[in-house]
Structure 1
């Protein structure tokens, strides 16, 4: 266990599953302090059981107005935005609600949560990590709304990086390829394909890349990091 003076404090969204859960476990395992965002009190209790030692903050990322009241005045060394939702379909198929739900959680919530956290991040010369997607680099048919939210998230990170450089805040976008998460299982079901988690990136691998970003010495920054599935045996 780290000494108190060596522990850092990290805020993580999406810690209930997938990449966010792996990031949360890795940070706790090495003795850092952790704040997790939960949509309601019941989910907060569940996250505290899943990640013993973590503290929770209640805010529904689908309701951006619930984020502003969060108290983030304490020490904060990083914010890792790992939460995300997806609703696949063509432009002709998706409703305004489908677009709104993805833009709210995938783009507006990270922007608002970062805004609320900025005073603490500036004080710590901290790091913001946006867990994006390959869809934030290219938009394929049927991925219009999700890709739009992720392209927007990349633009948010690019602007924030320049705006906060004078305060010593570093900003990194991580673009994982297809990763073995519950969302990936949902995508395969939509595509009508069999799902084999062993065919895709382990979320713990992406989490390790996120920790590398958080641990990078102060003399450098990683603006963008792309992670692709490795070669598979024939």
Structure 2
């Protein structure tokens, strides 16, 4: 993105314009961007000699959608677990970086903290534990009396998340297990969107859905990437062709390389 420069001249009569041109104020707006960065990340489970990931590196700019695909067992889910903070890399770093328009960093990198990552696992409805939509969404909220302000902020975030995923007309006392497959995925997304994450991760978000629900989820992600940075792991490549900004293939042995979708 280019450096934005806006000239703001003094108000003056036509006779004064030339004389005051040299005193014109220049408002400089630095138009930069931020990016999610993975650099040389490897993972070897404790007590083993087998590396599940080998020097994985990639970048995903803010408010874009990235897709990782590849064979089962190649390391895709392992990578997601590292990004979400479930496991820690054996080596390498995971961080966010702000850049100037010329591609140079504008400040030191900031580690990606697990609390700022939202993750929706494959078949997330299997992990629903409550008997109502409201109880499911608020299951992990703080219960202490002195957390009123936090709970108020979460409630505002809940309303925003429900609107984002298209559940605004859904009764909050409805049993989440009675929802259709597509609505269960929407609910799982809403839970992760209550506190806007720096990175939203989706593991096989179309798995087990019929054609209409799949189309609805893809449309939903098209809108979400306007607000969030989204990383998807999926075998369903054709549906994502129209909304993917960057894509990578994970090869057996845990090697990642950038590759366009084959459609």
Q: TM-score, normalised by structure 1?
A: 0.30
Larger strand share, 1 or 2: 2
Ranked by relative contact order (alpha carbons within 8 Å, sequence separation 6 or more), the top structure is 2
Compare the two structures and name the one with the higher helix fraction.
1
